[in-house]
Structure 1
Amino acid sequence: MKKLILTTAALALTAGFAAADTVRMGTEGAYAPWNFVNDAGEIDGFERELGDELCKRADLTCEWVKNDWDSIIPNLVSGNYDTIIAGMSITAERDEVIDFTQAYTPPDPSAYVAMSADVDVEGGVIAAQATTIQAAFIAEKGWTLVEFATPDETVAAVKNGEADAVLADKSFLDTVAGTDGLVMLERMEQIGGGVGMGVRESDQELKAKFDAAIQSMKDDGTLNALIAKWEVASQW
């Protein structure tokens, strides 16, 4: 699902996973329903519930770490946490710097939200979160792109007239469409290659543990049930 890579330059793999250590789960906490901070100040959402279940199945002790999106890959590589579980689409560019588990959701459609249903997205100004697959898509098309650090800022840009529409994961835009005059356009884009957990290239043991846990949830139907509960993507 969402989000492209930052720079790949000079990021060294210095920190490794030790089986006896607590696994730190890095997430953005700002992309409902995938991940967000609830009223109690705790990480919540589809990926919180999924991550806790994966840790249980992998017999791992896990704790959650909130990190801004624009530094989420560098801070994984530098050892601030051990995984990324943050609605991150698996892309070839990201895979040059980190490794991914198998996908835990199929690709989520990207959608547009605007203040009017007749917006010309190809000729207008489109907002997207920086370093996302949506921002890359707009840039590759040669359309006019404005980037923001957070998903909420992209929506605000449409409301205040700074952008004509925002392009983001449909599951995120479902949470704002219909509010404050925002409407979802009929046009959708199919970009990205499914969402997986990011790990350091050196942490193949950890990757294998989570791969097995994800597969077990696919096999017994609990992953599809969780996807349906949070309405984040199509089911397997």
Structure 2
Amino acid sequence: MKKLMMTATALALGAGMAAADTIRMGTEGAYPPYNFINDSGEVDGFERELGDELCKRAELTCEWVTNDWDSIIPNLVSGNYDTIIAGMTINDERDEVIDFTQNYTMPDPSAYLALSKDVDVDSGVVTAQTGTIQAAFVADSGATLVEFATPEETVAAVRNGEADAVLADKSYLVPIAEEDDSLVLLDREENINMGIGMGIRESDTELREKFDAAITSMKEDGSLNELIKKWDVGATFD
């Protein structure tokens, strides 16, 4: 699919956003390998590299801003930035408030990280980050849910005995388990992820379409699969 041919000065953005030269890309900066803050204090990771390429293909000038996860959707709606690109799974509940582009990752299974493989995640205490699909899943299960604002806090809760296990994206937990011999990934996985997409205000239809076209072009030329492999964020697209 050919690249979009438009200049930043000629953008006709959606009714919900005034015409502007710069699109603000909102992310959390605390969920590697998707997004994190590097040693230079800059946003880094799979979504930083992906977002920069999407902006290039859409001929948009983009800047990156960070926001805490628990208020990331309200701050998009209120106009503090123009997109969410933060490892956000597409689901019906969120789609009632914001729009999503097509998915830029394949569904990634959720996994449990614990201090022992003997943990009972069906009736024990399981932690998850507030406002995630994993927190909703645990809340509907027989386990006791303990929520924390950041992913780091959920892992810390397992280490210090506040929770029996943490449920999160497997691609987030695998590097942690590899670096810490005291933590183990359980064999059990939960397939609750529908794929990750960019969040856009419902009024910004044209902006969503521009990013959709850029994502499509990356899928078609194989460059999206290359990024997925580089950052090890799940299965590639066929």
Residue 218 (str. 1) matches residue 219 (str. 2): yes
1:185 maps to: 186
Shift of 1:192: 2.2
Structure 1: how far apart are the matches of 2:25 and 2:235?
A: 24
CA-based RMSD of the aligned residues comes to: 1.3
1:99 maps to: 99
2:80 maps to: 80
Shift of 1:143: 1.6
2:4 maps to: none
Runs (4 or more) in structure 1 with deviation over 6 Å come to none
TM-score, normalization by structure 1? 0.92
Q: Is the 8 A contact 1:17 1:206 kept in 2?
A: no
Shift of 1:202: 0.2
Gaps of 5+ in 1: 1-14
Q: Is the 8 A contact 1:107 1:193 kept in 2?
A: yes
Structure 1: how far apart are the matches of 2:184 and 2:17?
A: 45
Structure 2: how far apart are the matches of 1:62 and 1:17?
A: 15
Gaps of 5+ in 2: 1-14
Partner of 1:63, secondary structure, is strand
Q: Is the 8 A contact 1:109 1:169 kept in 2?
A: yes
2:38 maps to: 38
Structure 2: how far apart are the matches of 1:83 and 1:20?
A: 14
Structure 2: how far apart are the matches of 1:84 and 1:51?
A: 10
Partner of 2:177, secondary structure, is coil
Shift of 1:19: 4.5
5 Å-filtered alignment, 1:134-173, equals: 134-173=134-173
Q: Is the 8 A contact 2:125 2:145 kept in 1?
A: yes
Query: Partner letter of residue 174 of structure 1?
Result: V
Structure 2: how far apart are the matches of 1:125 and 1:69?
A: 22
Larger-Rg structure: 2
1:183-214 Cα offsets, whole Å, 9 max, x none, are 10000000021100000000000000000000
Query: Partner letter of residue 164 of structure 2?
Result: D
1:31-52 Cα offsets, whole Å, 9 max, x none, are 0000000000000000000000
How many residue pairs get matched? Answer: 223
Structure 1: how far apart are the matches of 2:18 and 2:25?
A: 14
Shift of 1:20: 3.6
Q: Kindly tell me: are residues 142 and 120 of structure 1, through their superposed partners in 2, closer, same or farther at Cα, counting changes over 3 Å?
A: closer
Shift of 1:123: 1.7
Residue 229 (str. 1) matches residue 230 (str. 2): yes
| Greater alpha carbon shift after TM alignment, 176-185 vs 55-64 | 176-185
Query: Partner letter of residue 108 of structure 2?
Result: D
1:110 maps to: 110
Q: Is the 8 A contact 1:129 1:151 kept in 2?
A: yes
TM-score, normalization by structure 2? 0.91
1:23-76 Cα offsets, whole Å, 9 max, x none, are 000000000000000000000000000000000000000000000000000000
1:23 maps to: 23
Query: Partner letter of residue 189 of structure 1?
Result: E
Structure 2: how far apart are the matches of 1:103 and 1:129?
A: 21
